[in-house]
């Protein structure tokens, strides 16, 4: 062991401030930050109780875990959600609820973190470089997936595709435009009588082409996630959409083409999946 003599100096007692008085007064006055923090805690606890006590949410304990409640509270605090309504749809990975936004009704999509097994998500995740580092961590995957859906909606909207307008995202919660008429969700294509199938088909294939031009493939397109709203067709469920660089993007696009042409063939049109694929990818010149 080396010699440490002379390496350390003691504080000169003359430089010390002396022994403290154990009864000396200590300032415990609240700061403004303390008051704000306590107020937020009280508000959050009240919010949590309202959500958990609400009849429409009592059976959804797996959805409204603590982290999700805090995410919802932040969205409320920032004015994106004013009040909750009932569920619009429920699924294995996510539930969608109606809510009152800053100015109008909105849809709030909440992805499950604890309950989801991701069986239906895996084929869209494997090979996507954005998810390679996430491994099997469910929470990280869900948070990334939620932000991915927000980004996909924004990209589709900018490409001229009618989709719900994304409003805000917080952890596993996505707030977006609620596609509804008089408080009722818009009808899916399989739920309505299509008066002009040819026009509807041309709109769908044009939207598919615009998505492709923007570097996206829906990946799960069918009559079940295209709705009719105020004279427009709207694409829903953009969470699983992948970029054209995904190793399975071509297979996903061909499956989309099969689903779309099969539906419109049942509507009496002569359609072909290969022709639709060629139109979407630009491999053929579309007829005017």
Q: By 3-state DSSP, what share of the chain in percent is helix, strand and coil, each rounded to 5?
A: 40, 15, 40
**CB-facing half-sphere around the CA of 161: CA atoms within 13 A:** 29
Which listed residue (53, 237, 256, 275) is catalytic? 237
Identify whether 256 is a catalytic site residue.
no
Contact yes or no for 179/164 (Cβ under 8 A):
yes
Tokens of 39: 């107020």
Q: Strands 173-177 and 166-170: what pairing?
A: antiparallel
Which listed residue (21, 34, 220, 275) is catalytic? 220
The whole-angstrom separation of Cα 172 and Cα 261 is 34
Contact yes or no for 107/80 (Cβ under 8 A):
no
Identify whether 220 is a catalytic site residue.
yes
In three-state secondary structure terms, 69 is: helix
Residues identified as active-site: 220, 237
């Amino acid at each position: 062991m080396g010699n440490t003599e002379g390496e350390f100096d003691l504080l000169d007692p003359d430089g010390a401030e002396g022994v403290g008085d154990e009864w000396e007064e200590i300032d415990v006055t609240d700061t403004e930050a303390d008051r704000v923090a306590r107020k937020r805690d009280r508000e959050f606890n009240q919010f949590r109780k309202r959500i958990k006590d609400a009849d429409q949410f009592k059976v959804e304990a797996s959805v409204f875990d603590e982290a999700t409640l805090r995410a919802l509270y932040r969205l409320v605090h920032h004015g994106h959600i004013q009040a909750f309504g009932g569920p619009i749809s429920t699924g294995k990975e996510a539930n969608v609820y109606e809510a009152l936004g800053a100015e109008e009704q909105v849809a709030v999509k909440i992805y499950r973190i604890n309950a989801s097994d991701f069986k239906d998500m895996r084929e869209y995740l494997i090979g996507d470089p954005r998810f390679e580092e996430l491994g099997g961590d469910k929470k990280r995957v869900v948070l990334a997936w939620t932000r991915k859906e927000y980004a996909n909606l924004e990209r589709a909207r900018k490409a001229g595709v009618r989709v719900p307008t994304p409003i805000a995202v917080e952890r596993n919660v996505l707030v977006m435009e609620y596609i509804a008429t008089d408080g009722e969700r818009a009808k899916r294509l399989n739920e309505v009588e299509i008066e002009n199938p040819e026009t509807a088909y041309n709109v769908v294939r044009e939207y598919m082409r615009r998505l492709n031009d923007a570097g996206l493939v829906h990946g799960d397109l069918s009559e079940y996630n295209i709705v009719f709203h105020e004279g427009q067709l709207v694409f829903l469920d953009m969470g699983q959409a992948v970029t054209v660089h995904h190793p399975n993007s071509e297979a996903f696009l061909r499956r989309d083409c099969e689903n779309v042409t099969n539906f419109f063939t049942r509507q009496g049109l002569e359609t072909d999946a290969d022709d639709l694929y060629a139109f979407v990818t630009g491999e053929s010149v579309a007829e005017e």
